[in-house]
Amino acid sequence: MGKTLLIVESPTKSKTIKKYLGSNYIVRATMGHIRDLPKSSMGVDIENDFEPSYLTIRGKGDVMKALKKDIKASSKVVLATDPDREGEAISWHIVKALQLPEETTSRVVFNEITKDAIKEAIKHPRKIDKDLVDAQQARRVLDRIVGYSISPLLWRKVKKGLSAGRVQSVAMKLICDREEEILSFEPKEYWNLETQFSNPPAKKKFSAKFYGDKKGKINLKTQEQTLKIVSEIKDKDFIAKDIKKTEKKRQPMPPFITSTLQQEASKKYNFTSSKTMMIAQQLYEGVDIKGIGAVGLITYMRTDSVRVSEEAISASRKYVEGRWGKDYIPVKPRVFSNKKNAQDAHEAIRPSIVELVPDEIKESLSLEQYKIYKLIWERFIASQMAPAQTLATAVNIEAGNYIFKATGSIITFPGFTSVYDEVKEESEDKEQALPEIKENDLLSLKEILPKQHFTQPPSRYTEASLIKTMEELGIGRPSTYAPTVSTILARNYILKDKKQLYPTELGAVVNDLMRENFSQIIDAEFTAQMESKLDLVEEGKLPWKNIIRDFYDPFKQELEIADKKIEHVQLTLEESDVVCEMCGKKMVYRDGKFGKFLACPGFPKCRNTKPIVEEIGANCPKCSGSIVVRRSRKGVRYFGCVNYPECDFMSWDEPTTEKCPICGKMLLNRSIKGRILKNNKVCLDKDCQYNKKTQKEKK
């Protein structure tokens, strides 16, 4: 009996799998897709019922040649590509490209790359699931028709190199709509009273919020109204009333799905969604662990299901009991419910082997792999732990007819928070622990500060919040979130500044054209309905070409009308006072990958560009030139002399106009990764005694 050829997409995956299979198996990788639609043309025959024309991807000739040789040397071929639509399609393309018999070629899937999972999968081969393949084909053909129809229109009417996409245009509209909300927002004034009290026996300060009076809540709208209340209560006694103590339980979050992993990694580590997925892919495909060898550390990372296998639940409960004791596991295993439109093909993202504790295998992982693995491991372990228990206290503080409210809580049993607690948004209130307060205690008012505020516009999207919104609206699927965001960033339709996403002028122009001429394409509800139809194809309930037929006729009409209606769009560029030294024209501001820059309007005849110089008002200690803000290759701010390279002064810390009180040299504002620290000054001279003095004061 000959050898069995097992084909996967990734060399890392093949290395991990090879370790678990005997010498009777040859394991090879296709290095991703081997066939796709051509780049030079649409590749979809509209007249022939939307039949796609697939070609072997350029550069895959050697891979194909090697696979054909392996097939001849093998008695059986097993396809083990990823367990989703994309993976199923890759397997189908392998069959077609290598002319394998579809009926007898085995397909196996595994959610995790461990010895048991692989052995079990090989025991249960199946045929290629054509419904899964058709769902992927439908998405690919839809996206190709939209992209290759609208993009040439944008090239003709706006500028070359632009593109539109079925999902990317909807994401772009979300960002542009939010920007319009921000620009049209009219702030409204409101006031509050920031107060601090203490209970004299405890002497511990705590804060309380003004609520209103005994009739109900009062919203403070003006300074006059606020100061009137302050004058009315300044001589009053502040008495504790209506003290309520409530025991509360806080349940853990479910294990990660694709979108929540991307969101949490963004909040905690500032990772982009594409970076998070790249690292998760490495963990799934296998990492060399000291003393063990190559092993897949997590389950498949493209999923929107929170389902977990009984074996994994049992293993986690056993681990928790062994480490923290019985009190830390719930009486019954916890089962989480999926959202309405979630697919249930895969489990949630969890560690493949619970016993591989992040800190114990840290030396075998890169820092980024460790961070993502730790997040996944801790979130999963926490999801099967007992709830955290808190004692919440609420106190009404009466001052004459007015009422302040103080709330606080203390943890009485940490439960799952011993392992993991989700990252809080910066805007969320921090819990305080109240001192012991009894009914009718006379409290001491330590501070009352009237403060004016204005309502704030909605925040711009971050990658995390955009993906969360896309998921909630049903736009895209786990495999498309990261590529969608990456695409609109790469196209220069949006820029990212301190995590926030905002549209460029180009992005706004393209969005306006799409909104005016292709309202259906960028409609979130329509896009979500299309996703639901693709799910029906996957379930075998709808032929894939029906979706394309229903979509194409109205789309074609929109396209024809738009081509006649849209006139050439001239992008308006803001002029600067800087004169181009090469041709004498005034340079204009343009948006680039790393923010705004100056460019000559005579492009392409004149290609002169310059960075925008941001002066900080301090002079160089070496040559007295202006100090300007610069950015490193990774986008981190630093400070340098405007006369560079003649003057090589640079500093990560921010130069100031202040002089050191000891040696008279320049004082710098301390900075960490581009973030200026408040009230933390150091002397330019590292050996100056002032630096040692300030460090002592901080201690």
CB contact at 8 A, 30 and 9: yes
The span from the CA of 522 to the CA of 525, in Å, is 9
The span from the CA of 617 to the CA of 698, in Å, is 28
Peptide bond into 645 cis (omega under 30): yes
The tokens describing 210, both together, are 């003004």
The span from the CA of 56 to the CA of 29, in Å, is 16
Tally of CB atoms within 10 A around 303: 28
Q: Cα 31 from chain centroid?
A: 26
Q: Give me the residues paired with residue 501 across strands.
A: 496
The span from the CA of 20 to the CA of 114, in Å, is 8
Give 200's contacts (C-beta < 8 A, 6+ positions apart): 442, 443, 444
Q: Give me the residues paired with residue 394 across strands.
A: 244, 407
The span from the CA of 303 to the CA of 257, in Å, is 6
**At CA 422, angle to CA 416 and CA 428, rounded to 5?**
125
Alpha-carbon distances, residue 217 vs 196, 209, 224, 447, 619 (angstroms): 20, 11, 18, 22, 54
Give 510's contacts (C-beta < 8 A, 6+ positions apart): 154, 158, 162, 164, 172, 493
Runs of H (alpha helix) within 73-206: 85-97, 115-123, 130-157, 168-184
Residue 215: Cβ-neighbour burial (10 angstroms; 0-12, 13-18, 19+): exposed
300 is catalytic: yes
CB contact at 8 A, 475 and 169: no
Backbone angles phi, psi at 184, to 5 degrees: -90, 0
Half-sphere exposure of 665 (CA within 13 A, CB side): 15
CB contact at 8 A, 16 and 285: yes
CB contact at 8 A, 5 and 77: yes
SS3 content of the chain, % helix, strand, coil (to 5): 35, 25, 40
Give 437's contacts (C-beta < 8 A, 6+ positions apart): 199, 240, 243, 393, 395, 443
Instruction: Rounding to the nearest 10 degrees, give the CA dihedral for residues 273, 276, 282, 288.
Output: 170
DSSP type of residue 351: B
The span from the CA of 220 to the CA of 224, in Å, is 9
CA-based nearest residue to 671, from 686, 651, 689: 651
The span from the CA of 4 to the CA of 39, in Å, is 35
3-class DSSP string for 621-634: CCCCCEEEEEECCC
CA-based nearest residue to 509, from 168, 181, 154: 154
Which residue, chain included where needed, has tokens 């973030």? 675
The amino acid present at 659, given as its one-letter code, is K
Q: Among 300, 402, 481, 502, which one carries the catalytic annotation?
A: 300
CB contact at 8 A, 323 and 514: no
Tally of CB atoms within 10 A around 144: 21
Residues in the chain, how many? 699
Q: Which residues are catalytic?
A: 300
